Chain A
Amino acid sequence: MINLLLFPILIPLLFAAILLFFPKNISLQRIIAAAAAVATLISVLFLLFKVKADGVQAVTLGSWDAPFGITMVSDLLSVLLVLSATVITLFVIFYSMPTIGIEREKSFYYPAVLFLLVGVNGAFTTGDIFNLFVFFEVLLMASYMLIVHGGEKPQLRESIKYLLVNIISSALFVAGVAYLYSVTGTLNMADLAAKIPQIEATGILTVIAVMFLVVFGFKAAIFPLYFWLPGAYHAPPIPVLALFGALLTKVGVYAIIRTYTLFFTMNIAFTHELLGIIAILTILAGCVGALAYFDVKKIIIYNIIIAVGVILFGVAQMNEAGIEGSIFYLIHDMLIKAALFFLIGIVAVLFGTSNLREMGGLMKTYPVLGWVYLIAAFGLAGIPPLSGFPGKLLIVQGGFEGPQFWGSIVVLATSLLVLLSVIRIFIYAFWGEPVQTVPLKKRSYYQMFIPAVILVGLTVILGVGAEMFMPLIKGAGEVLLNPSIYIDAVLKE
């Protein structure tokens, strides 16, 4: 089964194509979409065991020799991210059934979700820089459709801005690939990693590295380039928002991690210090937004920006603790953001608004929801037994070992602000005087609540069983710190 690493891309692609044939048959759409996500999940689990047992897997499509064909590479980092993305998509499909509405389900909602998964899994698995661009476009096209799907006025208004920003960043990506090709003469990532250290003109390579930081920074919402995210993510309905918040920015973060550990390592003193400073500014900008708003969606949206900053700060340190912490925090953050969006989605449905000032007293009528939300909030802030803690601990340790110890202090201090921002939702929505809630059928409440609870449960397992997952994280970090493992796996054949 040498093609095993292509299955997480091909299975959703095939099922999405099948789903296009009968848009009006909702029950069949639901069953096949869920089956597609389950089948993808099974293939990813097989792939995980394969990569764990045999090391980095590489397939060059069409049996051309490595630098000449398109290579797909699956190391532990990418397989872990593909696994998280697939799990989240599965739960988003379940959560969509009661919430997204029949009109949307009838007009190609599930195929778009699966095409988004195709793009995300492909971007995580590819080993070719131009192929990465193509998979970015696949996931962006699906996200354009999902963000405007339904055609409400705020959606139309915000999707224009989202499209424009992504068109500009895609054009810059093409220009960056053009410059990189003219300097190195290759597009294969492993070949780039082998060629770049031999090139003496580090000045031009540093410029290209910063250009790629701008390109991926647009997708990942880093400090000066995050302006589009709060408005754009506020527009679509909650399941789409959970999918975007958990997956889209993380693809940009992954691309920065991959390029900045694999081949842009010729001038670390400049590029990685720049990355570290930008990461800290991203955290601060996100904190300002998370504390400023009285809107549950906006608060969690700004927490996405904070998490992007924390992960990139760990990467910028380029030492073992920092990188491993970033990988752990990346996986934790994908799961916890999806869980939090699910929970506040239920809260927003119960009150019929997302404004915190019009909420109160949910603890008396929905106590379980309240406690689950509290666990998720503590997990986000990094309270010790929960999943945010091990990653942030390693990132802070990496910062203290590296040159930017002041950054670690900022990361620690802002954890308090993160906690404050999510606890504010708890205080306003769950404590205080009870407010009239919208009546909700028991059945649809449980249909929304159960995926959220399972996701929160997964993050608790990830936190409590951190020892169990550390070998995987260490293996992923090892490949990032020693690019020679990656290069040998791709170019040996």
Chain B
Amino acid sequence: MEIIMSFVIGFLFMAAVYLMLSKSLIRIIIGTGLLSHGAHLLILTMGGLGGTAPPVVADGVSVSDYVDPLPQALILTAIVISFAVTSFFLVLAYRAYQELGTDNMNLMRGTEDND
């Protein structure tokens, strides 16, 4: 299972890198979204995919059957942080589109006399 997850995460990273190297700003933001999905799935996978019971204390479940709860807590934290950053980035992109009149990263170059 970990092998399959690793391939999926690798594919997500590949797609994210491809999108982030493109010209359009909105494609770059979609790329950052895929990148954080990949990172979150990576924590889940690297914590080990063993265990059958959800990490909630219940009767009749032995300790070895629980899923590792720590990676889930880490992911939850990382998800809200990337939500906040993504929403800020989207508003920034909208504002930049209003002010600069373009979403093409090639036209957003700064030079000495073009500030």
Contacts and interface: CB of A to CB of B under 8 A. Distances in A.
A144 B43 contact: no
Contacts of B112: 295
Interface in B12-58: 20, 25, 28, 32, 35-36, 38-40, 42-43, 45-48
Given A144-B88, A157-B110, A168 B32 contact: yes
A231 interface: yes
Interface residues of B, number: 36
B4 to A, nearest CB: 16
Interface residues of A, number: 34
Contact of B81 (A134, A168, A234): A134
Interface in B57-94: 70-71, 74, 77-78, 81-82, 84-85, 88-89, 92-93
B13 to A, nearest CB: 9
Interface stretch (A9-17, A159-167, A330-338, A395-403): A159-167
Contacts of A443: none
A181 B43 contact: yes
A181 B48 CA distance: 10
Given A174-B42, A178-B46, A231-B110, A167 B77 contact: no
A179 interface: yes
Contacts of B74: 130, 177, 181
A37 B110 CA distance: 35
B93 to A, nearest CB: 7
Contacts of A478: none
B99 A153 contact: yes
Contacts of B40: 174
B83 to A, nearest CB: 11
Contact of A179 (B46, B70, B99): B46
A182 interface: yes
A171 interface: yes
A156 B39 contact: no
A384 interface: no
Interface string A339-370: 00000000000000000000000000000000
B115 A154 contact: yes
B100 A182 contact: no
Given A141-B84, A154-B115, A181-B74, 7 more contacts: A134-B77, A151-B95, A151-B99, A156-B100, A163-B85, A171-B36, A178-B46
15 contacts: A141-B84, A144-B88, A151-B95, A151-B99, A157-B100, A160-B92, A160-B108, A164-B28, A164-B32, A164-B89, A171-B38, A174-B42, A178-B71, A181-B70, A181-B71
Interface of B: 20, 25, 28, 32, 35-36, 38-40, 42-43, 45-48, 70-71, 74, 77-78, 81-82, 84-85, 88-89, 92-93, 95-96, 99-100, 108, 110, 112, 115
